[in-house]
Homo-oligomer: A and B are copies of this chain.
Amino acid sequence: MTAFDNGIALQPAGERLLRGRTVPEWANMVGPFGGITAAALLRAIELQPDVHGQPVALTVNYLAPIVEGDFEISTRAVRTNRSNQHWFVELSQDGDVLTTATAVFGVRRDTWGDTEPASPSVPAPAEVPVGPDKGPTWMRNYDMRYVTGAIPDAGDGESASSETTLWVRDNPPRPWDFAALTAVCDIFYPRIYLRLGRPLPAGTVSITVYFHADSDALAAQGDDHVLATARAQQYSSGHFDQAAQIWGTGGRLLATSHQIVYFKG
C-alpha cells in the first residue's frame, strides 16, 4: 500500500455506503489535500458493483473542511443509460455533508481522435531537478519537478503569468489509474500565490475533471511522470479560475481540468 492507496482506502459500510479515514500524510493547510478527497469520491463509484463504463467527467464541490478521523461516502446511481451512467456522491462526517460530487461514467468506443493544442516543449523529467522540500505535507506524496512556475520564495515578487508546468508522479511511483489521475489534476498550489509572489488564504471551491484517457491509455502510461500545466484566467470578487492539462508520454492529453478557487486579500 502506497501513501496514495492509503489515502483512498474505503471499506464497505452498508448499502451504497463506504467508510474511509483521513491519514496524516495527506494533510493540507486545512483538512486533507482536495485531490485525495476527489480521488476517494471517484474510487467510491468505481467500487460499486453496478458501475457502468469508465470515468468521463467528475465535478467535486468542497462545502466545508474535513476534520481528522472517519468519513462516510454515500453513492447514488441517478441514471444508467446504455452508453453512460450518472452518479451523485456525498462525503460526510457525523451526518454533516462536507463534499459532494457528480460523475459521468461512459462506455468508451474507438472513434476519430485528435489532440488540438501542442504539448508544452520541455526537457525530459530526468533533466529537471526535484523541487525543494516545501509546501504542505501532502506534497511529499509526489515527485514534483517544476519546469516553470515553482512555488515562489519570499522576495520573488509578483509574476505577470500564473503558469506552472511540472513533471509529476506519485512518490513512491505507482501505476496511473483514474483515481490517481483525478488527484493530480489538483496538484497545483493556488495560482494567485504565483501572481502576487506570496501565499494568502485560498481554497478550491469546485473542481471538474474530464478524463480523455481510457483504461488502456492509463495502462500505457505505467508509472511514468505526467506533464501537468495550469494557469488562471480571471481573478475577481474573491475568486479565480484555473485551467489545467495533464499530458501523458507521447504528447497525449490524459485529462483536462478546471477549478474555481476562493481567495482572501
Contacts and interface: CB of A to CB of B under 8 A. Distances in A.
Contacts of A123: none
Given A109-B237, A111-B237, A237-B111, A208 B258 contact: yes
Contacts of A51: none
Interface stretch (A97-105, A134-142, A165-173, A178-186): A97-105
A182 B14 CA distance: 38
B113 A100 contact: no
Most buried by B among A59, A100, A107, A265: A59
A132 interface: no
A233 B258 contact: no
Interface residues of A, number: 62
Given A81-B64, A86-B100, A114-B195, A236 B212 contact: yes
Contacts of A213: 236
B115 A210 contact: no
- Chain A at the B interface: mostly helix, strand, loop or mixed? strand
A154 B86 CA distance: 35
A237 B61 CA distance: 27
Contacts of A102: 59, 61, 100, 102, 206
B84 A205 contact: yes
A164 interface: no
Contacts of A110: 237
Nearest to A98: B79
Contacts of A112: 196, 235, 265
A56 interface: yes
Contacts of A59: 59, 102, 206, 208
A162 interface: yes
A79 to B, nearest CB: 4
A194 B152 CA distance: 41
A121 to B, nearest CB: 17
Contacts of A195: 114
Given A56-B205, A237-B109, A253-B233, A97 B116 contact: no
Nearest to A54: B237
Contacts of A83: 262
A239 interface: yes
3 closest A-B pairs by beta carbon, nearest first, are A108-B237, A234-B253, A113-B236
13 contacts: A64-B81, A79-B97, A88-B100, A106-B262, A107-B238, A113-B235, A114-B195, A116-B162, A116-B232, A116-B235, A212-B239, A243-B243, A258-B258
